[in-house]
């Protein structure tokens, strides 16, 4: 299993954008992302470091594998 990287909220948003997620709005300290034909929305905290548990939950909600997310984060 791939180890989760330590990423900022902005970097997490960039990775999800590479999987066709779009920023819908910014609500306080969170960035809300949506994807067409996807019921779930992602609420990414706009922090210097996103907690690993939070990141794992976001990846799970987006129907991605951790390996896919890590590979995409290394490309950016």
Mean pLDDT by 10 residues, the chain (76 residues): 88 98 95 95 97 97 96 94
pLDDT of residue 1: 59
CATH 3.30.920.30 fits 9-75, yes or no: yes
Query: 49 near 6, Cβ under 8 Å?
Result: yes
- How far from the centroid of its chain's Cα atoms is residue 65's Cα? 12
The dihedral sign for the CA sequence 63, 8, 27, 18: negative
Read off the pTM: 0.94
d(CA 15, CA 17): 5
């Amino acid at each position: 299993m791939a180890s989760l990287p330590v990423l900022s909220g902005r970097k997490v948003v960039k990775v999800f954008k590479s999987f066709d997620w779009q920023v819908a709005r910014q609500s306080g300290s969170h960035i809300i992302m949506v994807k067409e034909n996807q019921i779930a929305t992602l609420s990414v905290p706009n922090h210097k470091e996103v907690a690993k548990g939070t990141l794992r939950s976001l990846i799970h909600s987006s129907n991605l594998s951790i390996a896919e997310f890590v590979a995409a984060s290394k490309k950016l």
